């Protein structure tokens, strides 16, 4: 049994290295590759994807898993192994089972089409013209339908795709959470809209990009992001990518008229990176060395971005430095007014720039549209009109063009159907984890006021980061908080925070 486990780990190590190699190629594509290289780059990515698929679905991997007793109903096998080794077998069996159902031709075609689609999306967004991307998206949706059919599902084809990003969760479970969550968020949004709006005029001034970068780097340095193990670069859409145990890279984007956008992108992506960099030494370098689900992953970025970065104690620490860099823009603006401006709630078009209250409504919209596209209830050609109609119904606003509407996210160009729900789930996990953190480090606000975030990062690493994929998301949540995912922590957090900012009744 030990020999079989050792041999399986050798195969998995090759897959891990190939995956990280693919990440290098993709990172280059999004940060510095010339546009003319797109077609050949798509072939390179397709080749790598094909090689990984061959290795993962090889008869030898199947033989080793069988020898270890891994099967449906007992994916961890029957070996008397340590917890992390059982988890390794479980995840290898899960990956092998899913991949074995997919023909290599489908895997490589998906990689090729998404490689081509990325450049089309960038061009379409630049020109605010969905038609330039429409054909690519139609192919990607069709490939995802085929993928879902091959993998199989019980209720809805969306289940097979969601399971890739949020393992063991179904579309109906997401709907069960999103239904009441959407109602509570809509109600809170309406009550805030009926209150006096906070002043954000000083935030809407022009802030030099080079100073934004200086301040942003200062913040993530204090968070604990180590530049000797990572990089910060610019891309069309901010992202984090893991190129190796000691090479986790983040990107951001700056706009001189949107000073908070770049800053909170830096903080958000650093939250993701700190998770990847905090993986325990006992599982580094194998398939367990990554976030257990994208909902848990997103909980880390949303925690740092919102619970920490938009808190008043955070700005008690950083506002003096911000004022030194941007004295002209913040002249006469006190801490209280600045904190309120940072937390302004108002329906907006761009998801990544949305406030905490309305953000999850953006996610719910995308979830509903993805399900409908996959089932054929929404045709890709009608997507811009459908998007605008739903934006008006949900948030009361209509985008001026496709760039601030249907083309704002890169996810569909990357083939990531089923990914979006994890963003809202991350908000829920973040609030629940924050509540449990109090018993470990004391009052969170008091810790933030010290400006020393090592205590917070240490708690996250001890309770969440080190485990990687050892424990499934639902089990990890119970281990950390003592209960299953509970959306009430998030809505209670919002009610308290924004009730105070906007002077809502009962607060």
Q: Does the structure show a pLDDT above 90 at 453? A: yes
263: CB partners within 8 A, 6+ apart: 212, 215, 216, 219, 309
Instruction: Identify the active-site residue in 49, 166, 269, 290.
Output: 269
Between CA 272 and CA 297 the distance in angstroms is 6
Two tokens, residue 378 = 């929404």
pLDDT (average), residues 11-39: 93
Q: What is the DSSP letter of 74?
A: B
- Beta bridge pairs of residue 4: none
**For residue 215, how far is the Cα from the chain centroid?**
23
Between CA 264 and CA 304 the distance in angstroms is 9
CB 195 within 8 A of CB 504: yes
Buried residues in 251-266 as b, exposed as e (16+ CB within 10 A): bbebeeebbbbbbbbb
pTM: 0.92
pLDDT (average), residues 236-256: 94
420 closest CA partner among 373, 470, 477 = 373
CATH code reported for the domain at 183-353+422-502: 1.10.1370.30
Q: For position 505, what pLDDT does the model report?
A: 76
pLDDT (average), residues 336-358: 94
Q: For position 44, what pLDDT does the model report?
A: 94
Rg over CA atoms, the chain: 23
- pLDDT tens, residue by residue, 156-176: 999 999 999 999 999 999 999
Q: What is the DSSP letter of 472?
A: -
Q: Does the structure show a pLDDT above 70 at 318? A: yes
pLDDT (average), residues 55-81: 96
- pLDDT tens, residue by residue, 6-23: 999 999 999 999 999 999
Q: For position 492, what pLDDT does the model report?
A: 97
Q: Order the strands of the 240-244 sheet from edge to edge.
A: 230-234, 247-252, 240-244
pLDDT (average), residues 25-54: 92
Active site residue 269: yes
Q: Does the structure show a pLDDT above 80 at 41? A: yes
Q: For position 377, what pLDDT does the model report?
A: 95
pLDDT band for position 300 (50/70/90)?
very high
DSSP assignment of 219-262, as one string? HHHHHT--TTSEEEEE-SS--EEEEETTEEEEEE---TT-HHHH
Q: Does the structure show a pLDDT above 70 at 382? A: yes
pLDDT (average), residues 445-450: 96
Two tokens, residue 394 = 């949900």
pLDDT band for position 361 (50/70/90)?
very high
CB 348 within 8 A of CB 408: no
Start-end of H helices in 57-205: 59-67, 83-100, 104-127, 131-151, 157-165, 171-193
- pLDDT tens, residue by residue, 456-472: 999 999 999 999 999 99
Q: For position 506, what pLDDT does the model report?
A: 62
pLDDT band for position 79 (50/70/90)?
confident
Q: Does the structure show a pLDDT above 60 at 179? A: yes
pLDDT (average), residues 225-250: 94
Per-chain mean pLDDT for the chain: 95
Q: Where are the domains of the chain?
A: 2-152, 183-353+422-502
Between CA 429 and CA 92 the distance in angstroms is 26
Q: What sign has the CA pseudo-torsion 140, 143, 149, 150? A: negative
Strands 247-252 vs 240-244: parallel, antiparallel or unpaired: antiparallel
CB 346 within 8 A of CB 355: yes
Q: Does the structure show a pLDDT above 60 at 507? A: no
148: CB partners within 8 A, 6+ apart: 157, 158, 159, 160, 161, 374
Between CA 422 and CA 127 the distance in angstroms is 29
Between CA 348 and CA 359 the distance in angstroms is 9
């Amino acid at each position: 049994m030990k020999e079989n486990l050792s041999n399986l780990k050798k195969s998995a190590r090759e897959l891990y290295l190939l995956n990280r190699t693919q990440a290098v190629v993709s990172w280059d594509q999004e940060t510095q590759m010339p546009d003319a290289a797109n077609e050949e780059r798509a072939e390179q990515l397709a080749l790598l994807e094909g090689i990984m698929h061959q290795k993962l679905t090889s008869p030898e991997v199947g033989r080793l898993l069988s020898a270890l007793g891994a099967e449906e109903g007992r994916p961890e096998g029957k070996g008397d192994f340590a917890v992390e080794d059982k988890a390794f077998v479980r995840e290898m069996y899960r990956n092998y089972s899913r991949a074995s159902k997919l023909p290599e031709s489908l895997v490589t075609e998906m990689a090729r089409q998404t490689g081509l689609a990325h450049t089309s999306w960038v061009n379409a967004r630049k020109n605010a013209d969905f038609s330039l991307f429409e054909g690519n998206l139609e192919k990607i949706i069709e490939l995802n339908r085929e993928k879902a059919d091959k993998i199989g599902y019980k209720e809805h084809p969306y289940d097979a795709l969601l399971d890739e990003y949020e393992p063991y969760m179904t579309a109906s479970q997401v709907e069960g959470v999103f239904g009441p969550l959407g109602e509570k968020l809509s109600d809170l949004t309406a009550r805030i809209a009926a209150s006096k709006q906070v002043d954000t005029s000083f935030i809407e001034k022009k802030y030099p990009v080079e100073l934004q970068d200086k301040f942003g780097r200062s913040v993530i340095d204090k968070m604990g992001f180590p530049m000797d193990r990572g990089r910060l670069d610019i891309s069309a859409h901010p992202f984090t990518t893991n190129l190796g145990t000691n090479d986790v890279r983040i990107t951001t984007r700056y706009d001189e008229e949107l000073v908070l956008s770049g800053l909170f992108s830096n903080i958000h992506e650093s939250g993701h990176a700190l998770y990847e960099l905090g993986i325990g030494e006992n599982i580094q370098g194998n398939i367990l060395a990554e976030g257990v689900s994208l909902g848990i992953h997103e909980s880390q970025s949303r925690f740092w971005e919102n619970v920490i970065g938009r808190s008043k104690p955070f700005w008690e620490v950083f506002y003096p430095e911000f004022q030194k860099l941007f004295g002209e823009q913040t002249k006469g603006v006190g801490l209280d007014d600045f904190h309120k401006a940072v937390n302004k709630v108002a329906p907006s078009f761009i998801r990544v720039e949305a406030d905490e209250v309305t953000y999850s409504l953006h996610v719910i919209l995308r979830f509903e549209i993805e399900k409908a596209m996959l089932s054929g209830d929404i045709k890709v050609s009608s997507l811009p009109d459908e998007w605008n109609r739903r934006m008006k119904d949900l948030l009361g606003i209509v985008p001026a063009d496709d760039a601030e509407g249907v083309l704002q996210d890169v996810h569909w160009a990357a083939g990531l159907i089923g990914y979006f729900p994890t963003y809202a789930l991350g908000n829920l996990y973040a609030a629940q984890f924050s509540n449990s953190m109090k018993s470990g480090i004391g009052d969170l606000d008091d810790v933030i006021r010290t400006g020393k975030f090592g205590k917070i990062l240490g708690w996250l690493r001890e309770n969440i980061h080190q485990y990687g994929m050892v424990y499934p998301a639902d089990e990890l949540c119970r281990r950390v908080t003592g209960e299953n995912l509970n959306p009430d922590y998030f809505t209670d957090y919002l009610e308290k925070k924004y009730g105070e900012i906007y002077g809502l009744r009962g607060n």
